Structure 1
């Protein structure tokens, strides 16, 4: 049976996705549902979706570098990134655009070869220079209307996996990926 993608990818989005060599994700509202959880003692906790984690690993396994750029600093983010072998983790970034430029320069690539996935206003500057700007389903309307593509799933509920699946399908790697699991 031939691979059939579970969503339609518009031709212009597929064209952009074919060039992606770096997938960059915001955290709060993108890799999580956006809620901040604090324990009684003040420790912060976060909930990450296992589907998103597998999607990020699959991107890495297929030659797409993965990075996190987030404005907040959170120990749970560092733990999750370590668990997923994400080497490029930038926390406390107030200027995500400058961080993306610096990262792509260090990786000897252009921001045009990156997808930036976000949900809120601080993500707009980085999204505006990336080759593929993606807003999660629960993104602020100003972000959604400026994205090249919008996920069906919300941040923290599989949106990152949906982005990973879309990129792999656009790059013609989905069938081989499916065959690997069968």
Structure 2
């Protein structure tokens, strides 16, 4: 891994994730009663725990307004949970203000065009292997894993590997 990428990873104090297409594979499953179900990878959840134990704050920002998103963020004990948020870059800046950090201290993983603005503003931008091409073009790191299959954990492990103490 090149030194400039290692430096970006070492500066991360906050790691933010999108949900659909990152923590899930982007598929929606419907029950006969019309309830929506989504599949989450437990290894991603452990990634959040390891980040938090090392002092890195975590956040979830999703355009989805379902309670399922909030519930997943709470279950993972994310420090910040924002659902129904289309202005992800503005939410990121608000969290930075609250934590008294700069966007260069933020890592973000996203997969689709609604993540582009925030990906362009953070210090470290990542995406799952199956992200849309326009997202891949702006990211510093493209995961080996797909969304819902451990991409979040892959980036969490990289952050932890190069974290400054």
Shared fold (TM-score greater than 0.5)? yes
| Correspondence 1:54 to 2:57 | no
Please, which runs of 5 or more residues in structure 2 have no aligned partner?
A: none
Deviation of 1:164 (Å): 0.6
Deviation at 1:146, TM superposition (A): 0.9
Deviations 1:97-145 (A, max 9, x none): 1111111111111111100100000001001110001111111011001
Instruction: Tell me the SS of whatever aligns to 1:23.
Output: strand
CA distance in 1, matches of 2:4, 2:29: 38
Q: Which residue of 2 aligns with 1:118?
A: 110
TM-score by length of 2: 0.95
Task: Determine the structure 2 residue equivalent to 1:139.
Answer: 131
State the match for 2:88 in structure 1: 96
Which has the greater radius of gyration? 1
Cα deviation code 1:64-113 (max 9, x no counterpart): 00000111112222222111111300000111111111111111111111
Instruction: Tell whether the 8 Å contact from 1:20 to 1:114 is kept in structure 2 after alignment.
Output: yes
- Once the two structures are superposed, the pairs formed by residues 1-182 of structure 1 within 5 Å of their partners are 9-171=1-163
Which sections of structure 1, spanning at least 5 residues, go unmatched? 1-8, 174-182
Equivalent-residue separation in structure 1 for 2:131 and 2:2 (angstroms): 20
Distance 2:83 2:72 in 1: 13
Measured in 2, the distance between the counterparts of 1:108 and 1:140 equals 32
Alpha-carbon distance between aligned partners in 1 of 2:163 and 2:96, rounded to the nearest angstrom: 20
